[in-house]
Amino acid sequence: MSSNKKLIVGNWKMNPVTLDEAKKIASKIKRISPTLTSTETVICPPLPFIISCGSRKEVKHFHLGSQSASVEMVRGPHTGEVSAEMLHDIGVEYVIIGHSEQRARGESDVNVAKKIKAVIDAGLSPIVCVGELVRDEAGAYLEVLKNQIKHSLADVPLASVKSIVLAYEPIWAIGAPEPMKNEDIHESSIFVKKVFSDIFGVEAGLKVRVLYGGSVNYRNAPDIISYGKVDGLLVGRESVNSPGFVELLKAVDNIAYK
């Protein structure tokens, strides 16, 4: 583990449909978060709902995230874009970048790298998603992972590595019936840290937080943390099911760190 706090990130994707529902989910998370002792929560609602899901007063152990940010850093004629600076201004602290669903719609490593830079420059933490499409016997997926990490982080200066969070999400385990096996999660998270160390040095590699994502729910989350030995989770479906997400936070918070 790289930190004694677990980081649980809810990726709401394009859910829910109404602002009213979004506020209801967020308020349940805001109610439970201050009771947590070793867990930090981030919710990433769709852009139109983010500001209403936050809070004027700080809520302990609760943070806002966005599912996207523009590569453009300077305000101006960029129709449809939302800058990292704007997100920062409304209280967002994290931005999910390079999610496989965006990569599948054409987001390249080059674009991912530009977004990471824009997000870091605005003072936010990028949650950089990496993961293989298939896990082949010969281990070619390791090369895929390595290249994704290297190219995505190509523009990050050493001074900014502290803000980076990596999310390992094997694509085949996203939206699936089951998550990846815990021992495989452990192995991949070590590999991801190793590649990170090779780029930024051992000290940075020891400190970087690596999350796991892919079919996490309140039942499997504690074992993924304990036996997968990751620093937190990136949760899709279960993050918009508020009773399940609240249970997940409680269960994860109850894990004693070794």
Position 131 contacts ligand PGA (CB under 6 A): no
Position 213 contacts ligand PGA (CB under 6 A): yes
Position 236 contacts ligand PGA (CB under 6 A): yes
Does the active-site annotation cover 99?
A: yes
The catalytically annotated residue of 85, 99, 132, 238 is: 99
Instruction: From residue 32, give the alpha-carbon distance in Å to each of 182, 183, 256.
Output: 27, 30, 19
Position 215 contacts ligand PGA (CB under 6 A): yes
Number of chain residues interacting with ligand PGA (CB under 6 A) = 12
Position 174 contacts ligand PGA (CB under 6 A): yes
Position 11 contacts ligand PGA (CB under 6 A): yes
Q: Which residues contact 137 (CB under 8 A, 6 or more apart)?
A: none
Closest CA to 221 of 244, 251, 242, 241: 251
- Residue 223: CA atoms inside 13 Å, Cβ hemisphere, count? 11
Q: Which tokens hold the place of 164?
A: 């980076």
Position 208 contacts ligand PGA (CB under 6 A): no
Residue number with CB closer to ligand PGA (91 or 244): 244
CA–CA separation, 164 vs 239, rounded Å? 22
Residue number with CB closer to ligand PGA (123 or 175): 175
Residue number with CB closer to ligand PGA (85 or 238): 238
- Residue 17: CA atoms inside 13 Å, Cβ hemisphere, count? 0
Which DSSP state fits 156?
A: -
Q: Which tokens hold the place of 73?
A: 């850093």
Does the active-site annotation cover 169?
A: yes
Stretch that binds ligand PGA, among 107-115, 153-161, 167-175, 186-194 (CB under 6 A): 167-175
CA–CA separation, 180 vs 226, rounded Å? 14
What is the contact surface with ligand PGA in residues (CB under 6 A)? 11, 169, 174-175, 213-216, 234-237
Catalytic annotation, residues: 99, 169
